[in-house]
Amino acid sequence: MVQATYQTFYDILDSVLGLSLKAEQLGFGHMAARAALTYVFLIALVRAGKKRALGGATAFDVILIIILGSIAARALTGGAPYFPSMLALIVLVFTHWLFSYVAWASPALSDFIKGHSTVVILDGKVNREALRAAHVSMDDLEEDLRSKGVDDLKAVKEARLERSGKLSVLRG
């Protein structure tokens, strides 16, 4: 009885999602169903992950988003098996969450996994070595300062290039 129910459920999923078809055999209906299901699945998955994953993301977060998008796209278009790909997405989000927790618990691992902020201006003086190491030009720095309403370097007590790549500024 359980085996028959499972088979019936699989047959329904197969007819809606085209699970047994090759990528080039997927029709409009299969792609539409996969797109809708993948969208709902990814919303649930991202909501289960960290709130910050799409906000002030670090490189650590961006890598996850790129990989999730890549795997989801392959599942959606039939380039990879659908449900094993969804499981891979769950494993990646869990692994990301685990790494985030470890980074939270250990400042040394946090620096390794997520990076660290860099002081680029201190008491109105630009640290050109820090800019060079971060591959930030003086023009880029001035643009970021202007976007924060700062037009005079002497007015800056401290400016940091944060782990997310954004500039934070404390005025003097």
CATH number at residue 154: 3.30.240.20
Residues 24 and 73 in one domain: yes
The reply to whether 105 and 142 lie within a common domain is no
Do 105 and 132 share a structural domain? no
- What residues does 171 pair with on adjacent strands? 156
Amino acid 72: pLDDT: 96
Contacts of 88 (CB under 8 A, 6+ apart): 71
Percent of the chain with pLDDT over 90: 68
Please report the pLDDT score of residue 103 as a whole number: 87
Cα 106 from Cα 77, distance rounded (Å): 40
C-beta of residue 52 within 8 angstroms of C-beta of residue 97: no
- The reply to whether 34 and 47 lie within a common domain is yes
Q: Are residues 100 and 45 in the same domain?
A: yes
Final residue of a structural domain among 112, 130, 162 = 112
- When pLDDT is cut at 50, 70 and 90, the band that residue 112 belongs to is confident
Between 119 and 165, the higher pLDDT residue: 119
> Can you read off the two tokens belonging to residue 162?
């944060």
Question: Domain ends where: 71, 95, 112?
Answer: 112
Q: Which residues span the domain enclosing 18?
A: 2-112
**Residue type at position 81:** P
26 shares a domain with 87 = yes
- CA angle in degrees (0–180, nearest 5) for 79-81-84: 135
Residues 6+ apart with CB under 8 A from 143: none
Domain count, the chain: 2
pLDDT in tens, 136-157: 999 999 999 999 999 999 999 9
| pLDDT single digits (tens) 39-83 | 999 988 887 766 555 555 777 788 888 999 999 999 999 999 999
CA distance 75 to 69: 10
Mean confidence (pLDDT) of the chain:
90
Residue 165, phi-psi category: left (phi > 0), alpha (psi -120 to 50), beta (remainder): left
pLDDT at 130: 94
| Beta bridge mates, 29 | none
Q: Cβ of 68: how many Cβ atoms within 10 Å?
A: 20
Same domain, 84 and 136: no
- Please determine, for residue 29, whether its predicted confidence score (pLDDT) is greater than 60: yes
- Residue 52 neighbours by CB distance under 10 Å: 12
Look-up of token digits 């790549």: 165
Burial class (CB in 10 A: 0-12, 13-18, 19+), 128: exposed
Distance CA 68, CA 44 (A): 13
Q: Same structural domain for residues 92 and 55?
A: yes
